[in-house]
Amino acid sequence: MKTISLMSAKGGCSKTTTSINIAVGLSETGKVLLVDLDPQGNSSKRFFSNYLELDGICELLRKEKTYDECIHHTKFPNLDIIPSKRNLFVLKKEMLYASHGIQQLRLKNVLDPIRKDYDYIIIDNHPDIDLLISNALMCSDMVIIPVNPDADNIMFSDSIEGMNLTLTNIKEAIDEGEIAEMDFRILLTMTDRTRASQIFEDYLRSAYGDLVLKTDINYQSAPVKNKNRSGFVIEKDDTRIGRNYQSLVDEIRSLS
């Protein structure tokens, strides 16, 4: 069983799309739980139009609801999701000022009893460095950091800055003994055939070597809808980007 977090201190780098596609791809050969730890509920709304009415991660962390009430089955037979919504913003503030318990372990304490039920747990995190991110780190075996080419000059790249903030946060947590050594990887997303994109990729692979996953995720100019018209999950056989994600899933399996 492996828990994988998708993290970046920068938004707009295909983190949620990647989380969903990894979860769906891995569910083809095993049981997968997707945990939406983003108060905006971006993963949740892509599976359930009524996600605001569903109990989810906030209720579990508060111990207000049971697992059966907060884990929801998706249309994919082996994929479940614990959804999120904006009440997670309130819980984050409550955790920040709480005087009881170790707040960084709340998510781990919630997930530990159900790990045996899944082959993979995928955590979709919001773009920040905060207490929710610390909770995700505490229960993750691997962190994948999506990075997209967003500037002609690497020095002015918000994506690189977000990646470095995330890497620093992970390394500090390891150095301070908060978490054990873990596997973390960099994923290139939204790449294209422009020279700027190639320069960006060359820099990452030169600077970070094997930390950069072999698979790139190509840029898509418009949302791709699957055969069921959900518009949320890319079918692996439909498009080049779909095949990219299938390749990524295969690479993740090889690292497990």
What tens digit of pLDDT does each residue of 28-83 get? 999 999 999 999 999 999 999 999 999 999 999 999 999 999 999 999 999 999 99
* CATH number reported for the structural domain that contains residue 178 in this entry: 3.40.50.300
Range of the domain at 181: 2-255
CB 124 within 8 A of CB 163: no
Give how many domains the chain has, as a whole number: 1
Per-residue pLDDT tens digits for 132-164: 999 999 999 999 999 998 877 787 788 899 999
Which residues lie closer than 8 Å to 129 by C-beta, 6 or more apart? 9, 165, 166, 169
pTM across the whole model = 0.92
Per-residue pLDDT tens digits for 153-200: 787 788 899 999 999 999 999 998 888 888 999 999 999 888 889 999
Q: Which residue has the tokens 């950069």?
A: 212
Closest CA to 146 of 245, 6, 241, 2: 6
pLDDT at 249 over 50: yes
DSSP conformational letter for 94: H
* Total number of residues shown for the chain: 256
